[in-house]
Amino acid sequence: MADDPSTPPPRGPLPGWAPPPHAVGQSRFSLGVVVAALLVGIAAGAIIAGVVVLVSGDVLSRFGSHPVVGEHAEIAEDADTPKLGDCLSSQPALADLTTTDEVVPCKRLHKAEVVGVAEFPTLTVRPRDSQIDDYTSEACALSFRDYAGRDPDTTRYDFGAVVPDDKAWAAGDRRFWCLVDSRSEGTGVGSLRR
């Protein structure tokens, strides 16, 4: 009888055999759920990373991620250079501080304003860039507070330092200028001085 081709095969597991594993359709469903969960996790991670970058970018924009916005060539000690309160026709990164040629009245349209002039300590070896960043960041924030009467963290003004280049440093020039981008908040006309 078992060899009779007209007898249908038995349904279900054969006696002594375990039931078959779950059906193929269920396996595809489980794999689909896992893939969907993985994609949702990746998307959520990308969104969180984007928010972190935007927030940290806004915080860093006060000083920029690099507080030094430019370097100046060696300047003679007795040279006529921009002073505290001077407004400049060039933006901070392009300002020529070796002369007063770019100084303009603050009541006219300008691109930068000198909120501080300071010096590095007398060191024979130029500090690392990170040390220069730290020093100028603190010094320029203090200069801004004294000059404008406001905390720089409560404004949208961008500012940074113009420091001596390597050749100027080797010649003993330690001066640096703290400059505000006059167009970063407002019209670029008038002074920040309190």
Four-residue CA torsion sign, 96, 102, 104, 109: negative
Class of residue 85 by CB neighbours under 10 A (exposed 0-12, middle 13-18, buried 19+):
middle
One-letter identity of residue 126: R
Q: What is the pTM of this model?
A: 0.66
Residue 90's CB is within 10 A of a number of other CB atoms, namely: 17
Residue range 100-142, pLDDT digits in tens = 999 999 999 999 999 999 999 988 889 999 999 999 999 999 9
- pLDDT tops 60 at residue 57: no
pLDDT band at 56; cut points 50, 70, 90 = very low
The mean pLDDT value for 48-61 works out to: 42
Mean pLDDT (the chain, rounded): 81
- pLDDT tops 70 at residue 153: yes
- pLDDT tops 70 at residue 73: yes
Q: Closest Cα partner for 140 from 101, 84, 183, 100?
A: 84
pLDDT of residue 98: 94
